[in-house]
Amino acid sequence: MTNPERVYADPSINMETEAYWEATKQNKLLLKKCDDCGETHWYPRAICPHCSSSNTCWYEGSGKGKIYSFSVMRRVEIPYVMAYVTLDEGVSLLTISWSAISTTCPSIKMLKLSSVPHKAIRPCPCFALLHKGPL
């Protein structure tokens, strides 16, 4: 499946998420972790949802993970594959994959930030197959 000219909505960047969106311009996926409890959380917040500490910090994620689940939205002009990807860091994020369509849910290693959609106001992390695992 190619990456069609889909329009991505404005993510409405705010002071909590500015660094994340700056990093996507360099094709980097930033995650947030808590310096006090050590846990990574998703989506990134100023306050740790695990221990309520405000000592949260950014770090660059591996960008690798597995598909947790996906669904091909067909009743639209440009069908797209909505997916939850569980990153190697242990958190799952909502994204779009352009290559999940013929696979089952798990055991697919994904590349990070495979595409920077042309019609996104800011680059949004999207994922594609790194290699096909056993189906």
State the residues that interact with another protein by CB under 8 A.
6, 8-14, 16-17, 20-21, 39-45, 49-50, 68-75, 80, 82-84, 86, 90-96, 104-106, 120, 122, 124
Query: From the CB of 108, what's the least distance to another protein, in Å?
Result: 12
What tokens appear for 11 in the block?
A: 């993510």
Query: In this complex, which beta carbon is closest to another protein, that of residue 26 or of residue 106?
Result: 106
What tokens appear for 113 in the block?
A: 């930030």
What tokens appear for 67 in the block?
A: 């598909």
Q: Which string of DSSP letters, residue by residue, matches 11-75?
A: ----TTTHHHHHHHTTT--EEEEETTT--EESS--SS-TTT--S-EEEEE----EEEEEEEEE-S
Query: In this complex, which beta carbon is closest to another protein, that of residue 68 or of residue 129?
Result: 68
Query: In this complex, which beta carbon is closest to another protein, that of residue 39 or of residue 133?
Result: 39
Query: From the CB of 114, what's the least distance to another protein, in Å?
Result: 14
